[in-house]
Amino acid sequence: MARVGSIGGRRRGRAGSGPAAVRAFLTGRRRPAAIAAAVVLAVLAALIAVAVSRPDAAIRTQSRFVTGTPENGGRVMLDTTLYLPRSTPAPAILLAQGFGGSKDDLDTAAHALATHGYVVLAYTARGFGRSGGLVHLDAPAYEVADASKLVTYLATLPQVLKDSPGDPRVGVAGSSYGGALGLLAAAQDKRVDAVAADITWNDLSTALFPNAGATDPGVFKKQWAGVLFSSAAGQQPGACGRFAPDLCAAYQHAATTGQSDGAMLSLLRASSPATVLDRITAPTVLIQGEQDSLFPLGQADANARGLAAHGTPVKEIWRSGGHDGTTSAKELAGYVADWFGPVLLRHGQPDTSFEVAVPGSAISTDTGQAVARTLRADDATTSRRTSHLTVAGPPQTVYAPAGGSPAAVTSVPGLGALLSTVTALGGATAPLSGSAGLATIPGQVAAFASAPLPRSMLVAGSSTITIQVAARGATDATLFASLADLDPDEGLRLPNGLVAPIHLTGLRPGVTRTVTVTLPAIVTSVPAGHRLVVTVGTTDSAYQLPTSPRAYTVALDNASLQGDLTVAGIDGRTARAGGLPWGWLLAGVAAMALLLAGVLVSGARRRARRVVVDELAAVPVVIDGLVKEYGDGFRAVDGVSFRVERGQVVGLLGPNGAGKTTALRVLMGLIRPTAGTVHVFGERVEAGAPVLSKVGPFIEGPGLLPHLSGRDNLRLFWAATGRPARDAQFDAALEIAGLGTSVERRVKTYSQGMRQRLAIAQAMLGLPELLVLDEPTNGLDPPQIAEMREVLRRYAATGRTVVISSHLLAEVEQTCTHVVVMHKGKLVAAGSVREIVGAGAPRLVVDDAEKARQILATAGVSAQVTPAQRSLEEVFLRMVGADQ
């Protein structure tokens, strides 16, 4: 293995195929193994190579207008783009947009799905963009009928695979508005073979009017309703824009009165999958975001239960992000491709497991998102479990001001829980009262706390508690319940800013009503020593609030001053995050389990593997026989081996296409290798591996939010990791980055150099032991590059390790202590800068070359004149040749 620090010992042979590769895949080093085990793992490696995403090939696109459902006697045309893969005929995917968007928003996902081998038809829904017609909110007679017409259009295309004449093999996928459209279309058109619905609703009436019923108008989610109405009304001048008149009138009534009426609820329920789940037979994956105050996790749960009750194959995924967060389009395309593969490509049976992304083990990705540890259970029903905690506190009187002003701010539509972390609600014991944050306002919140947890606890789902409510001077009550995490050092944290509205009617003065409250569905890890706190507030700015002042008394059991909190959880096993259809891969391998048993459970091998890990525990990076091959046979990385020692500043060099970024992405667990191993501080790297918390990454962009200050960007990023704020060491990272007072300015005012500094500061949060930076000087001018060089030197001076990729050779020579050179996916050289350029070798310098030749000739030494190696650039060009 090549050491960064020694040129000798580098291996340039391939390690991407055969028994050696699969042994490396299993054990992390090359050693003899049982032939049967090697054969089994070779099959597994081949399956993985087929399953991984291919690079974006030359996808052909065709744009045209397709006839939709007529409206008001006129023709309606839908704006579409067709994405054609390299090989046709192929199964098709109808890709539907989110509310207020257009087909342009689907371009990245459409390209990604086309590279998986699908014909993709992306389109703009009626009433938006260049498509005609009015917005009817996924009405069966309009938007759903449009989807059927587009399926018929796909059936006319020779590039689309057909199950029978007029019946294309097709899946429908979309997020939010598009996700509900997919479910409704599958119920109405039996030609739909599979559905992938992301962050969508079950019942739109209860999503926008929680608690709405036959006699209860519910609590109006006014902020989100306003955002949705504005996004469609703004498409055309006029009070209603391009909304259908009946929908516009219903919204205006709700916005004016703050209440629903029969007409509004009827329209919303007609556009709800809840009404048609018994008619959906197409296998369905439901992907719901954990950061979503519009359509929380409970909406997906309701859809999953309804589908499963009628025997429809269903998979449920709780992912990071949502309407209040963000998710990579390619990541979502991966979920969709994994689900559609077994159905549309006939790659086995659908994987109907239940997956949950767990915050707190996240690493930064190239989009600024988090890749969380994933728990997987057999299904979403039998995996649920509950545990019980005692919470305590005396009866508390809380007040609701007239008109709800001031109101608590728990989340902001589209921006998430920016204000969900507040200071402690008083002392360390109940009762808790008062707050300095906007998520809770003094006098408006009752709180009931558990004792400090003796061990960490995963909360996953909707917990419940029974409370008693009495109103003073009112016959109804509007309250907002939540489950919060009380850190003894950092204060109260409201996971994702989620609250559950409570609406009680028919109250009588002085009479207590007992009610069991279903708290918001959340996923959060609560560390040992923290407390779980049930809060009941009187205001929330996201909802319509009573205009008259109110007072409520909120209590647990008045006799014992205690209550039983039923905490939701899941029974699941840790799994790799995202990407591959592990269910069918593992099912195939399970048949060979007996062949593997002798190898995998061997005590000798376990001990040997443990020794290897222990030997590498002090080494920041060890890469051995790394191969990354895509589905079309292209090898981006081919048998690369090197290691990085503590205290080094290592430059990863190579021309474009050398495999540098691919190697770094494997190092960060963002993509899986085809063969070989990567160890960081002795631990095997995979997505969400705990050891990655020791790594500060900057890979292809930091995902900064321009409307926030630099400091707020850093705080938001750190909060996404789920780690305590005290561990971030903001001041140390900012001092090294050298941003000064500019950190308080909005990022949109920053120069490119300042953005890069902030990105580096983001990677340095928590002062990780290893800093991994991909082209950190891109877009910088020479003075800014010099400043960046100083930033990296200052960080290395703290005794940590830095790995950077760059094509600026002179800069690497001045910044780095060691280099790794790659070309066409292979390792060319690895060593210290001095060794690579030959600066460390003794030399005799003479002015007269001919005289020097004569002197050497007298000593019997033949000589020829060669130019001195004076720069890393000269050596690099000689290594990679003229064909770089």
Would you say residue 348 has pLDDT above 50?
yes
Q: How wide is the angle at C-alpha 306 spanned by C-alphas 304 and 311, nearest 5°?
A: 90
Buried b (16+ CB within 10 A) or exposed e, 334-348: bbbbbbbbbbbbebe
Task: Verify that 175 and 280 share a domain, yes or no.
Answer: yes
Pairing of strands 801-806, 770-774: parallel
pLDDT higher at 407 or 278? 278
Question: How many folded domains does the chain comprise?
Answer: 5
Instruction: Report the pLDDT value the prediction gives residue 41, as an integer from 0 to 100.
Output: 37
The CB-side HSE value for 128 (13 A sphere, CA atoms) comes to: 26
CB 224 within 8 A of CB 541: no
Instruction: Report the pLDDT value the prediction gives residue 767, as an integer from 0 to 100.
Output: 86
Token readout for 556 is 């647990």
Sequential DSSP letters for 685-710: --TT-GGGGGEEEE-S-----TTSBH
Report the range of poorest mean pLDDT among 50-54, 172-176, 556-560, 698-702: 50-54
594 belongs to a structural domain: no
- Residue 274 is classified by DSSP as G
Q: How wide is the angle at C-alpha 56 spanned by C-alphas 51 and 58, nearest 5°?
A: 125
563-577, 674-688, 716-730 — which one is most confidently predicted on average? Answer: 674-688
373 belongs to a structural domain: no
pLDDT higher at 336 or 149? 149
Instruction: Report the pLDDT value the prediction gives residue 122, as an integer from 0 to 100.
Output: 95
Q: Is 3 helix (H, G, I), strand (E, B) or coil?
A: strand
Nearest to 488 by CA among 451, 439, 540: 451
Instruction: Report the pLDDT value the prediction gives residue 234, as an integer from 0 to 100.
Output: 55
pLDDT band of 40, cuts 50, 70, 90 = very low
Task: Verify that 839 and 827 share a domain, yes or no.
Answer: no
Report the range of poorest mean pLDDT among 268-282, 376-390, 676-690, 712-726: 712-726
- Integer Cα distance of 744 and 713 in angstroms: 10
74 belongs to a structural domain: yes
Q: Cα 41 vs. chain centroid, distance in angstroms? A: 30
Instruction: Report the pLDDT value the prediction gives residue 279, as an integer from 0 to 100.
Output: 96
- Residue 592 is classified by DSSP as T
Report the range of poorest mean pLDDT among 97-111, 386-400, 672-686, 726-740: 726-740
Nearest to 92 by CA among 12, 51, 150: 150
Nearest to 724 by CA among 454, 485, 394: 485
Where in the sequence is the domain holding 760, given as residue range(s)? 2-15+43-49+612-833
Q: How wide is the angle at C-alpha 168 spanned by C-alphas 167 and 170, nearest 5°?
A: 125
CA separation, residue 288 to residues 200, 202, 223, 353, 579 (Å): 7, 11, 21, 14, 16
Radius of gyration of the chain, Cα coordinates, nearest whole angstrom = 30
528 belongs to a structural domain: yes
Token readout for 583 is 């269910």
688-713 mean pLDDT: 79
Nearest to 397 by CA among 541, 555, 273: 555
Instruction: Report the pLDDT value the prediction gives residue 874, as an integer from 0 to 100.
Output: 66
Task: Verify that 149 and 264 share a domain, yes or no.
Answer: no
- Integer Cα distance of 155 and 167 in angstroms: 6
Instruction: Report the pLDDT value the prediction gives residue 531, as an integer from 0 to 100.
Output: 93
Exposed/middle/buried for 426, CB within 10 Å: 0-12, 13-18, 19+?
middle
- Last residue in a domain, options 225, 242, 268: 268
Task: Verify that 278 and 348 share a domain, yes or no.
Answer: yes
pLDDT higher at 853 or 199? 199
Token readout for 413 is 């539509």
Task: Verify that 167 and 316 share a domain, yes or no.
Answer: yes
Task: Verify that 634 and 742 share a domain, yes or no.
Answer: yes
Nearest to 500 by CA among 535, 476, 474, 525: 535
Instruction: Report the pLDDT value the prediction gives residue 877, as an integer from 0 to 100.
Output: 64
Instruction: Report the pLDDT value the prediction gives residue 858, as an integer from 0 to 100.
Output: 65
pLDDT higher at 511 or 232? 511
CB 785 within 8 A of CB 775: no
Would you say residue 30 has pLDDT above 60?
no
- Integer Cα distance of 393 and 396 in angstroms: 8
Task: Verify that 417 and 434 share a domain, yes or no.
Answer: yes
22 belongs to a structural domain: no
pLDDT band of 809, cuts 50, 70, 90 = confident
476-499 mean pLDDT: 88
- Integer Cα distance of 487 and 493 in angstroms: 8
> Which helix (H) or strand (E) segment is 667 a member of?
helix 660-667
Instruction: Report the pLDDT value the prediction gives residue 50, as an integer from 0 to 100.
Output: 37
- Bridge-partner residues for 516, per DSSP? 466
pLDDT band of 425, cuts 50, 70, 90 = very low
- Integer Cα distance of 174 and 715 in angstroms: 31
Cis peptide, bond prior to residue 406, ω within 30 of zero: yes
- Integer Cα distance of 370 and 377 in angstroms: 21
Token readout for 674 is 């085809």
Token readout for 3 is 């050491």
Write the CB contacts of 85 (distance below 8 Å, at least 6 apart in sequence).
57, 59, 114, 115, 116, 117, 118, 119
Cis peptide, bond prior to residue 89, ω within 30 of zero: yes
Token readout for 489 is 């050092």
- E-assigned strand segments in 250-294: 284-289
Instruction: Report the pLDDT value the prediction gives residue 136, as an integer from 0 to 100.
Output: 92
Residue 491 φ/ψ region, left for φ over 0, alpha for ψ in the -120 to 50 degree band, beta for the rest: left
Task: Verify that 516 and 557 share a domain, yes or no.
Answer: yes
Q: Which amino acid is at 868?
A: A
Would you say residue 81 has pLDDT above 50?
yes
581 belongs to a structural domain: no
Would you say residue 814 has pLDDT above 50?
yes
Task: Verify that 323 and 216 share a domain, yes or no.
Answer: no
Q: Which amino acid is at 573?
A: R
Report the range of poorest mean pLDDT among 59-68, 118-127, 133-142, 554-563: 554-563
Tokens 């400090």 belong to: 452
Instruction: Report the pLDDT value the prediction gives residue 761, as an integer from 0 to 100.
Output: 85
Instruction: Annotate 253-278 with three-state secondary structure.
Output: HHHHHCCCCHHHHHHHHHCCHHHCHH
CATH code of residue 154:
3.40.50.1820
Write the CB contacts of 54 (distance below 8 Å, at least 6 apart in sequence).
115, 116, 630, 631, 632
pLDDT band of 585, cuts 50, 70, 90 = very low
Sequential DSSP letters for 122-179: EEPPTTSTT--S-B-SS-IIIIIHHHHHHHHHHHT-TTB-EEETTEE-EEEEEETHHH
Pairing of strands 683-684, 675-680: antiparallel
69 belongs to a structural domain: yes
Instruction: Report the pLDDT value the prediction gives residue 229, as an integer from 0 to 100.
Output: 78
308-334 mean pLDDT: 85
- Integer Cα distance of 352 and 336 in angstroms: 13
- Last residue in a domain, options 817, 833, 849: 833
- Residue 144 is classified by DSSP as I
Task: Verify that 239 and 250 share a domain, yes or no.
Answer: yes
Nearest to 543 by CA among 271, 198, 260: 260
CATH code of residue 646:
3.40.50.300
Task: Verify that 708 and 809 share a domain, yes or no.
Answer: yes
Query: 241-264: per-residue pLDDT in tens?
Result: 788 888 888 888 888 888 888 888
- Integer Cα distance of 638 and 108 in angstroms: 28
Task: Verify that 258 and 300 share a domain, yes or no.
Answer: no
583 belongs to a structural domain: no
Q: In the sheet that 573-575 helps form, which strands lie side by side, from edge to edge?
A: 60-67, 77-84, 119-123, 92-96, 170-175, 192-198, 284-289, 314-319, 354-364, 370-377, 573-575
Write the CB contacts of 826 (distance below 8 Å, at least 6 apart in sequence).
12, 638, 639, 640, 659
- Bridge-partner residues for 488, per DSSP? none
pTM (2 decimals)? 0.62
Q: How wide is the angle at C-alpha 200 spanned by C-alphas 196 and 206, nearest 5°?
A: 145
Pairing of strands 92-96, 119-123: parallel
CB 376 within 8 A of CB 583: no
Pairing of strands 500-504, 770-774: unpaired
- Integer Cα distance of 282 and 280 in angstroms: 6
- Over the chain, what is the mean pLDDT? 78
What's the full length of the chain, in residues?
A: 884
- Integer Cα distance of 23 and 31 in angstroms: 7
CB 358 within 8 A of CB 320: no
